[in-house]
Amino acid sequence: MDTPANTIHYFFAGYAVIFGSILIYIINLIGRWRKLKRDAAMLEELERTRQTS
């Protein structure tokens, strides 16, 4: 019986790409969410000051 080819490095590279990409995308989404939340809060603040003045 032949032993399988030694391809474990490619295996690790493949899964590094899969996990890495998903992780980067999720972090990117969280970053965008936080930034938008900040913007929304800022805009609300601006709106309030406009209304009172």
Q: What phi and psi, each to the nearest 5 degrees, are found at residue 48?
A: -65, -45
Q: Which two tokens stand for residue 7?
A: 């391809």
Site string for another protein, 7-46 (x = CB under 8 A): xx-xx-xxx-xx--xx--xx--x--xx--xx-xx--xx-x
Q: Is 5 or 52 the residue whose CB approaches another protein more closely?
A: 5
Q: Which residues bind another protein (CB under 8 A)?
A: 1-2, 4-8, 10-11, 13-15, 17-18, 21-22, 25-26, 29, 32-33, 36-37, 39-40, 43-44, 46-47, 50
